[in-house]
Structure 1
């Protein structure tokens, strides 16, 4: 498996991976899901193209032996913080260390960019995901935001209240 920076040539495959990992039919084969909470797509090709073009954004992709993208994460440097989002692993490949490898790559990217902490937002009802991040050194900051206050399009709510909690990992530089 290999982790490299995604390019515009990867947009279609990244779009398929992210949407299948968050809400697609394959999702039922993985251990994480937003399907009970959100409907619709997580991202589209145009949004991915815009992200790739942003100067402080890096999208990493993890490819398997046959060159297929099976994991991805979007990293944005803001001052001395690295914002981690759009973290997706193919439901068919979950449980094989792909997520952990991408988190380690994100930490390296943070250190290379003089970031002292990594920030993520997680849906508060996704307890299994919050626990997974906790096992990897992330802790709640106590901050949260209502889903409807987020800029951009991340899907259509299926439940009345969705809150995102902020978690962070402080890096030892």
Structure 2
């Protein structure tokens, strides 16, 4: 098996990033893995312009995981200030999920957040309907904060809701 390389995304990676993220979260292809949101949302998870905005923002970046020339995973990280980092959009190719790549990307996200942004703790937001995903994050050291965030129902760039009870719970993990 080809060695895994994790590096910052470049603008030339946007087409591959867009395809990977959509395949991990939306549509029938996403059902091959366990991170699908296809029962919660239709439409897109992101778009090329949104990815370009992330890459242009000095307080955010996308880490990418490559096996040779194949993009197999990515994660968004962001500086929220005051020692708080954030990660989201954790994406692993659906056919590779369950093999430890997601965990490696989370570890890389934690290290990069601490190194580049001075983060001492990391926050994530998760749909409460995603019990299996929440349990996975708990095994990685995350705990619920009791906070919730609204789902942006009025912005189709984040997907087309298939139910009316969507929101996010906030989870947090201290960095060593």
Same fold (TM over 0.5): yes
1:152 Cα deviation after fit: 7.6
Structure 2: give runs of 5+ residues left out of the alignment: none
TM-score (norm 2): 0.93
Distance in 2 between residues matched to 1:76 and 1:149, nearest whole Å? 23
1:106 Cα deviation after fit: 0.8
Distance in 1 between residues matched to 2:8 and 2:14, nearest whole Å? 12
SS in 2 for 1:106: helix
Q: What does 1:5-154 correspond to in 2, within 5 Å? A: 5-64=8-67, 66-79=68-81, 80-112=83-115, 113-148=117-152, 153-154=157-158
1:50 Cα deviation after fit: 0.9
Q: Is the 8 A contact 1:17 1:88 kept in 2?
A: yes
1:166 Cα deviation after fit: 0.2
Q: Is the 8 A contact 2:113 2:119 kept in 1?
A: yes
Would the alpha carbon gap of residues 150 and 90 (structure 1) be closer, same or farther in structure 2, given more than 3 Å must change? Answer: farther
1:32 Cα deviation after fit: 2.0
Runs of at least 4 residues of structure 1 off by over 6 A?
149-152
Would the alpha carbon gap of residues 151 and 110 (structure 1) be closer, same or farther in structure 2, given more than 3 Å must change? Answer: farther
| Greater mean deviation of Cα atoms: 108-117 or 36-45 | 108-117
Which residue in the other structure is 1:159 paired with? 163
Would the alpha carbon gap of residues 30 and 41 (structure 1) be closer, same or farther in structure 2, given more than 3 Å must change? Answer: same
Counting matched residue pairs gives: 171
Distance in 2 between residues matched to 1:12 and 1:139, nearest whole Å? 34
Q: Aligned Cα RMSD in Å?
A: 1.4
1:101-142 per-residue CA deviation (whole Å, 9 max, x = no partner) reads: 001101111221211111100001000000010000110000
Structure 1: give runs of 5+ residues left out of the alignment: none
